[in-house]
Amino acid sequence: MSNKSTPPNRRRRQLLQAGAAGAAVSLLPGCSPHKAAATVPQSPVAYAAGGPMPWINWAGNQTCTPRQRLAPSSEAEVVDALKRSTGVVRAVGAGHSFSAVVPTNDTLISMDLLEGVVQHDASLHQADIWAGTRLSALGPMLEGLGQALPNQPDLNYLSLGGAVANAAHATGREFGNIPSYCVGLTLATPSGELLACSATQNPEVFQAARTSVGALGLITRLRMQNQAAFKLVETNRVEKTEEVLEDIEQRLARHRHFEMMPLLHSPLAVTIATDLAGPADLNVGEDDPQAVNTLRSVYEAVGWLPGLGELAYEKLLQAAVGGAASSVRVGASYEIFPHVRVVRFREMEYTVPADAGPACLREILRTVRERNLPVCFPLEFRYCKGDDIWLSMFEGLGEKGGCAISVHQFGDIDYRPYFAEIEPIFWKYAGRPHWGKIHTLDAPRLAALYPRHWRDFHEVRRALDPQGRMMNAHLRTIFGA
């Protein structure tokens, strides 16, 4: 197929692969220290036939072997499950948390059977939704009602309950995280009571439950403030990272949503601008879910060469993607917000005050380059509106909100050395870790990051769960319980 007819993203991959092959043609197999780096198995546990069935998260870095697994299909069954369970009780949705928020060897409760829209209000664009509903299923459901989530994360595998519990978010300075669109919820407490919560009904429980990391009980349903269904156009470009940072305020003002993915050991970044679609907007090119694997192949082929590797890698990227044409996706909002995730990885994310975002990113990029860290998985750089939710990463950050910066490592490589180099940089900029992603902070350090409502949250938690039945080892560490 000629370059004229090959989609831009696929053409970039072909150019990178060809360049890597040429650069590595004389290398002996296995001579790259990047390929020889410490690796970890995709699954952290081995399953023996006939033995207890382990639970493993999507990333393959968290596991447990529950004594009992329950899957209630109604609120009455949720209440009964909580009353009958013993030991530590944890709920699980899609299993997309990288931190150890789920594991328990006692009782694991899946919310998957609580799925669908319970009821809706067409005049207010609100809908009551079961907590186990995956975002991938929710989009078409809401479209059938003429509604849509105002914003959505870039992966749609999450359950709605999990997205609220861990404060999942997308990008857009004028748009809050998923919990900020929750205007009511029902909480099943550890004692088996069903509490209806909103800004006017059990308001303190409502504020605590909207980001609770599952420490208060099990959310069974949520009332979401939606909007009329809408279409989006997403434009992907390859640009210079520094030029984008210099222009970041204008980008945020110009686009409904804007984010970028800086390419490590390179001056380049993939920028993603998303706006309301117009009648003339058309699809151009295609999304490339294998792009990070291509980057990895190229980096492992040339990135290790003493004195020349980084330069060779940068030149290959410049030649292959530096002047590449844009790709454009157009469709319903729930089709455009998410991207396919076929490459397993582990992730750490911190949110820093918006004004500190560019400086924090520059220091991360400089650290990777100066210390020659052997990583090539792109970073993620996004903005989100501030809020007043007690344990939201964006709480109290004002009109400009926060800047969320994510670092990733491939699932078969030990992420710990890389994350250990980068995490202290976030601390310098008053960063707050994402509750569902990897970090090393404990309760005293986290309490200092949430000075206004840390005690408020724990007063509610202790009142609802005085015996700590919802507290696994990880939650005891981060909450000091």
pLDDT one-digit tens code per residue, 65-81: 999 999 999 999 999 99
pLDDT number for residue 24: 41
Count H helices and E strands in the chain, helices first: 15, 20
305: Cα separation from own chain's centroid = 33
- Write the burial class of residue 477 (CB in 10 Å: 0-12 exposed, 13-18 middle, 19+ buried): middle
pLDDT of residue 2: 41
144 occurs within a structural domain = yes
**Under 8 Å CB-to-CB from 463, ≥6 apart: which residues?**
none
- Of the three residues 176, 204, 228, the one that is the final residue of a domain is 228
CB 182 within 8 A of CB 164: yes
CA gap 102, 55 in Å, rounded: 9
CA dihedral 214, 218, 220, 225 (to 10 degrees): -30
Same domain, 194 and 312: no
Q: Are residues 131 and 85 part of one domain?
A: no
Residue 332 lies in a domain: yes
CB 105 within 8 A of CB 64: yes
Q: Which pLDDT value is given to residue 48? A: 78
Q: Is 67 helix (H, G, I), strand (E, B) or coil?
A: coil
For 349-416, the DSSP string reads EEEEEGGGHHHHHHHHHHHHHHTT----SPPEEEEE--B--TT-TTBT-TTT-EEEEEEEEETTB--H
Residues 223 and 236 in one domain: no
Cα torsion angle, 239, 242, 407, 138, sign = negative
CATH of the domain at 177: 3.30.465.10
Q: Looking at 198, 228, 258, which one is the last position of a domain?
A: 228
Count of CA atoms in the C-beta half-sphere (13 A) of 139 = 20
385 burial class (0-12, 13-18, 19+ CB within 10 angstroms)?
buried
Q: Which stretch of DSSP H or E encloses residue 235?
A: strand 231-240
CA distance 135 to 246: 34
Cα 250 from Cα 233, distance rounded (Å) = 19
- Identity of the amino acid at 396: G
- For 387, the token pair is 């809020």
How many CB atoms sit inside 10 A of residue 143's CB? 16
What range does the domain containing 274 cover?
Answer: 231-439
CATH of the domain at 422: 3.40.462.10
Q: Give residue 7's pLDDT.
A: 56
Partners of 403 in the β-ladder: 352, 383
Q: How far apart are CA 126 and CA 337, in angstroms?
A: 20
pTM: 0.92
Q: Determine the pLDDT at residue 321.
A: 66
110, burial (CB in 10 Å: exposed 0-12, middle 13-18, buried 19+) = middle
> Domain check: are 339 and 430 in the same one?
yes
Same domain, 311 and 248: yes
Low-confidence ranges of the chain (pLDDT < 50): 1-5, 15, 19-37
Per-residue model confidence (pLDDT) at position 317: 77
DSSP 480: T
Name the domain boundary from 228, 244, 260: 228
Asked if residue 10 belongs to a domain, the reply is no
Contacts of 41 (CB under 8 A, 6+ apart): 60, 412
